[in-house]
Chain A
Amino acid sequence: ETGVTQSPTHLIKTRGQQVTLRCSSQSGHNTVSWYQQALGQGPQFIFQYYREEENGRGNFPPRFSGLQFPNYSSELNVNALELDDSALYLCASSLSGQIEAFFGQGTRLTVV
């Protein structure tokens, strides 16, 4: 059984660019959540996908968008990057109806 894997582990982007982060959920998990963790802060909920549909969203602007694929893997897309988007982005997968989520190692995004 593989855990949650995220790619890339690190990347650097320029302000105004677009970025796509990827997440492979744990085997059998059909729900994926994305979090933004700024330096020195706790993770902040961005959104959740279940069966390829967004079913919950935190207080993030529309330039943060996502996708979930039939194999339950997921992408987080951020358009028009801002310096404040620099953070660790965490993906967590779970099985619908179960409260425990399993986190990936995260992607460290730096916007310069």
Chain B
Amino acid sequence: AQSVTQLGSHVSVSEGALVLLRCNYSSSVPPYLFWYVQYPNQGLQLLLKYTSAATLVKGINGFEAEFKKSETSFHLTKPSAHMSDAAEYFCAVSAPAGGYQKVTFGTGTKLQVIP
């Protein structure tokens, strides 16, 4: 079984401030982990992915995430928030499940950026 928990359904930061979105996962096998961003009425866009190589993963738009096995966490960070970062962010875990890669998403965190 696998699951994802995103702490905080809404996060507000000031423009230029640090962005930290939290994600904890559970998986019975070594997982792949993802962060996606969703703008209103849009599909999901991949920000970054962890595939068991480097534990610190850099993605698009200045985002990065660190895989911490001991804490079962994969938190998303960005040093300086921009207005265009306002969106909903989803953490996801992927692991093999009987012939296919099962992907489980968290419930999402809406990021508000205050000017």
Which residues on A are within 8 Å of B, measured CB to CB? 4, 33, 35, 40-45, 48, 50, 55-56, 90, 92, 99-106, 108
Contacts of A50 in B (CB 8 A): 100
User: CB < 8 Å: which of B90, B94, B97 contacts A43?
Assistant: B90
Interface majority SS on A: helix, strand, loop or mixed?
A: strand
Contacts of A105 in B (CB 8 A): 41-43
Excluding A103-B45, A106-B42, 12 further A-B contacts by CB distance (< 8 Å) are A35-B105, A42-B90, A43-B90, A48-B100, A50-B100, A56-B97, A56-B98, A92-B44, A101-B103, A104-B43, A106-B41, A108-B41
Q: List 6 A-B contacts (CB under 8 A).
A: A40-B107, A42-B105, A42-B106, A99-B49, A104-B43, A106-B43
Contacts of A44 in B (CB 8 A): 105
User: CB < 8 Å: which of A45, A55, A90 contacts B44?
Assistant: A90
User: Contact size class for B?
Assistant: 20 to 34
- Does residue B27 face the partner (Cβ distance < 8 Å to A)? no
Contacts of B41 in A (CB 8 A): 105-106, 108
Closest chain B residue, CB of each to CB of A101 = B103
Contacts of A55 in B (CB 8 A): 99-100
